[in-house]
Structure 1
Amino acid sequence: MSKLRNILIGAGIATVGAIGVKKAVDYFQEKKQEEAVSQLPEDASISNPQEEVAFAVVESNSVQDFLDKTFGTVGRYQPNRSPKIFEYQDKDYMVIWAYDQQQSKNQMLVFLYTDKGREMIGSVGYTASKTDYRLNMQNTPFAVAVNGKKLQSGEGETSGTNDVDFVLA
């Protein structure tokens, strides 16, 4: 978890208060309740460390500068759900849900932290009438859930939705 704390501090990202370790399967099943996520007691242990996730729910406004610099337009993306930063199986990820002011749609952006910085491995734009995606997550244990389907890679369009989520593949 110290690696995750260093990422948060280095990026100037403020948490909402939910920082902890949980069984990954529980954490990802409770994705709708990220604000009220419970933490394991300090003396608790998870039998298999490969099954645990260290996480932080962050303040939406603390990723605004990152979004502005990454996409080159101040205010284009406005976070509309608490972003998540987490460590799973020795890799670090950031997921941001935002509204794209330029294209008038919701967007889920997925980043993998690497030695070179943050690498975007997923982008899903969605409205009630259409969902478009570009995903490069086949080398990760994750997928994007859209309309009951789990997508890991490729580029395309599917029917519209009001919600997409980041889940275990």
Structure 2
Amino acid sequence: MARTHDHPGEQASHDPIRLLDIRETPLSVDEVFRAVGDDAAGGTALFVGTVRNHDGGQDVGALGYSCHPTALAELRRVAEKVVADHPVRALAAVHRVGDLAVGDLAVVVAVSCAHRGEAFEACRKLIDDLKHEVPIWKHQRFSDGTEEWVGAR
């Protein structure tokens, strides 16, 4: 998508990818939201993925995420593609690894654009591609003693 800049305030002179990380420590919605702040952005879309207490009709007792050593590089590739295909002012994405409890934040992504529709589209593309393309795997242990890996190919 070609970018047009009708107003000097729309001209991007910075890298719109402001924050990318995969970490073992708790995530902060405020940190991600602050990272995508941009005076030329009229819309910011934010997605927060949390650990739920069930999946596929089963009660989740414990959950852990792990990742391949290339996961951060793949996350950057996904982010760069979103920036190339959408009029992104700023983008941020962080994903948690390690053991998480029900209610913990697993992933937080945000995108700011000049307009809300663009922000929604770019944010949706970012989270969908992150979940499908970045090698991060979820190990769910259910209360009945069974377990499953999600995302492992």
The bucket for the TM-score relative to the shorter chain is under 0.3
Larger RCO of the pair (alpha carbons < 8 Å, separation 6+): 2
Normalised to the residue count of structure 1, the TM-score between the two structures is 0.25
Larger Rg: 2
TM-score of the superposed pair, with normalisation by structure 2: 0.27
Greater fraction of residues in helix: 2
Q: Which structure shows the higher strand fraction?
A: 1
